Amino acid sequence: MNPTDPSDEPRIESLSAITLATHDMARAVPFYEALGFPLQYGGPQQAFTSFAFGSSYLNLITDTRGPITWWGRVIIYVSDVDAVYRKALAAGLRPEFAPANAPWGERYFHITDPDGHELSFARPMR
């Protein structure tokens, strides 16, 4: 390894998983299933649940330490933003707004999970 060669630097290659805290796994799991996340491990009665999609995972972990406050946003690319939006509405969920074309070149909408985590479903416009 040559310390002056930038090709020797470690690279961020991909996102493996995002883990979100929940106070109520029995409420959170059906929310994610209603949006189409495939359950890989755990479930409504477990302390840890994992949903697999593509080569990534969205994990939920039970946290009873206190209120969960807003921390940011998870942006999830999907094949059809409008179809995911319709799926959310059909499940009785309430996205923050209808899909919109952003000036930065994505079509997207936001929805907040039962614990206040903001999810953005998006697709690059080409």
The pLDDT value given to residue 19: 86
Q: Are 125 and 81 in contact (CB under 8 A)?
A: no
Has this prediction a pTM greater than 0.75? Answer: no
**Domain total for the chain?**
1
User: For position 88, what pLDDT does the model report?
Assistant: 95
The answer as to whether 51 is a domain residue is yes
Q: Could you tell me if residue 10 is inside a domain? A: no
- 5 occurs within a structural domain: no
For 122, other C-beta atoms within 10 Å of its C-beta total 21
Note down the domain range covering 46. 16-63+72-124
Instruction: Report the CATH number that the domain containing residue 45 is assigned in CATH.
Output: 3.10.180.10
- Cα–Cα distance, 57 to 79 (Å, whole number): 17
4-18, 33-47, 70-84: which has the minimum mean pLDDT? 4-18
Asked if the structure places residue 4 within a domain, the reply is no
Q: How far apart are CA 83 and CA 119, in angstroms?
A: 16
Angle at 62 between CA 59 and CA 68, to 5 degrees: 95
